[in-house]
Chains A and B, each alone.
Chain A
Amino acid sequence: MSESAISIERARVQRNGTPVLSDVTISVGPGEMVGLIGPNGAGKTTLLNLVNGLVRPSVGSVRVLGRDLARAGGNEVRREVATVPQTRAIDPRMPLLVREAVLMGRYGRIGLGRRSARRDRAVAEGAIAQVGLSHLADRPIGHLSGGEQQKVALGRALAQEARVVLLDEPLNSLDRSAQADFVEALRKVHEERGLTIVFVSHELDTLARLCTQVIALKDGRIAAAGPARGILDDAALMARLFASNGKSGA
């Protein structure tokens, strides 16, 4: 049996003395796409930050791609772990082209103070083509729609040549058509590159279609974990997870 791409054991994370994650144990296999659900404040983003080394556990261990994060440097880990953050408004006047925004994914690998080489630019071009944005490569990033900007973020993750991709609610504030477009790009990328993906989303139907397993978090603890269908079809669990959150699907 191959080693897990992500392995977290009994991790505890505290902020200002208050636990935000407690006794979290998960295992994600190489090439697997795992959904992460839970109400707001459940600790989903903290869990992603644990995987990309931005947060260290006070108790427990985190291993990503065979590296123990207690020993590996944060920047070293982040070269292999890409993050696609939540959508946010980008100033339409931002002096950055789509091509540059995707090439940014190479910056950690290129190294501090070094210039991008021909190979870096070729990898970025390939990533732009793979997410279907070649025709927009020379446009300012702030001129793109929210869905297109999320594809740029996915392209950046591909340019990074990361083996693990963390998606932090990338579908938020996208309309249905843009969501479908992004999900299709993601499905293709996952299939073609065999990436390990952790996908935080409130879109449960999407997770059911794409993910092999789903982890449900509530109040910083794992409320349930298992095959996607089994978790997402458990009406009692969904009600318990989201009852006080006032959301049906979140």
Chain B
Amino acid sequence: MDLGVLSETFMQHAVLAAVLAGVSCACIGVAVVTMRLSFIGVCMSHAAFAGALLGLLIGMPPMWVAFPFSLLAAALIGPLADRAEFSPDTALGIIFSGTLGVSFVLVGLIPGPKAEALRLLWGSILTVGPASLVLLGASTLLVIALVIVFFKEIQAVIFDRRIATAVGVPAGAVFYTLLVVSGATITGALNVVGGLLVFSLIVNPAAAAYLLTYRLDRMFLIASAIGVASGLIGIAVSYWADLPSGASIVLVSTVLFAIAAALSPKRRARAAEAAP
């Protein structure tokens, strides 16, 4: 196997982007998967995608518009998910369909070829530039700092927001901070794996880690490792098999999830409990 390509700048950028996106998306994924709000990723990524399309349409840098759009989605998701008359899934479904509709309208309004719009949808890790790397690096540092400093608060909110509040943790503030940082992470990863596929990079590594450990600190580490592995193996597959990079990364993360599900001690424990 020729590894000379690793000396190329574009590949070094791609590897760095895969590591950063793998870690940041996986950490956010741990929160949304354990809170059973996995659909939040798809909602916010589509909102970011719609924002990026609007940026293209009005001639602004797409990421500048994508971030406030994902924050807007977060600002809508939180209160809707909190209201008793809606289940969180219903609230997320309403926002998802809305952002999807806006995205398609904006794609239709963009004049000429739609290549740039499609790149935002599918991502292109092999062409990621320094500006995107800086944005991704900043969002990754933000996520890591949040997890390290507020680990115990995140743990309490993940377990039960009512109990977190009852023991004196500002659960609402922690929950909304998680949503805002999810928006930043999704925006940062938009160029790498695309608006459509970032959802998989959030959910798959975290869901795999969920099956492998009963410790939340280890879950963050395992999910990050699976996220990074998905990115690096996905890039390799994409480069050598000449396949789309975003889709390759997502498919690898899906395969890694399937392996985790097969090896899961939790699955084996449940099977043993169910046996007569």
- A positions within 8 Å CB-CB of B: 52, 54, 75-76, 78-79, 82-83, 85, 92-97, 100-101, 104-110, 112-113, 115-116, 140, 153, 156, 160
How many Å from the CB of B36 to the closest CB on chain A? Answer: 8
In the complex, chain B residues 155-204 whose Cβ is within 8 Å of any chain A Cβ: 155-156, 159, 162-170
Is B114 in the interface zone, CB < 8 Å from A? no
Contact at A113–B166, with CB atoms within 8 Å? Answer: no
Q: What residues of chain A lie closer than 8 Å to B163, measured between beta carbons?
A: 83, 85, 104, 153, 156
Total residues of chain B contacting the partner, CB 8 A: 27
**Given known contacts A95-B215, A115-B152, is B159 in contact with A109 (CB within 8 Å)?**
no
Query: B150, B159, B170: which contacts A96 (Cβ < 8 A)?
Result: B159
Is B86 in the interface zone, CB < 8 Å from A? no
Contact at B165–A95, with CB atoms within 8 Å? Answer: no
Assembly CA distance A75 to B215 (angstroms): 27
Contact at B168–A108, with CB atoms within 8 Å? Answer: yes
Query: B150, B168, B210: which contacts A78 (Cβ < 8 A)?
Result: B168
How many Å from the CB of A15 to the closest CB on chain B? Answer: 11
Contact at A100–B168, with CB atoms within 8 Å? Answer: no
**What are 9 A-to-B residue pairs whose CB atoms are below 8 Å?**
A54-B165, A75-B168, A79-B168, A95-B213, A95-B219, A104-B152, A104-B155, A104-B167, A113-B153
Instruction: Give me the 6 closest cross-chain CB pairs, A-B, nearest first.
Output: A108-B168, A83-B166, A140-B214, A78-B168, A95-B216, A75-B168
- B positions within 8 Å CB-CB of A: 34, 149-150, 152-153, 155-156, 159, 162-170, 210-211, 213-216, 218-219, 266, 270
- Residue in B164, B166, B214 whose Cβ sees the most chain A Cβ within 10 Å: B166
Q: What residues of chain A lie closer than 8 Å to B170, measured between beta carbons?
A: 75, 112
How many Å from the CB of B12 to the closest CB on chain A? Answer: 35
- Residue in B153, B214, B215, B219 whose Cβ sees the most chain A Cβ within 10 Å: B214
How many Å from the CB of B220 to the closest CB on chain A? Answer: 10
**Given known contacts A95-B215, A95-B216, A97-B214, is B168 in contact with A109 (CB within 8 Å)?**
yes
- Residue in B152, B211, B216, B270 whose Cβ sees the most chain A Cβ within 10 Å: B152
Query: A93, A100, A107, A112: which contacts B266 (Cβ < 8 A)?
Result: A93
Contact at B214–A78, with CB atoms within 8 Å? Answer: no
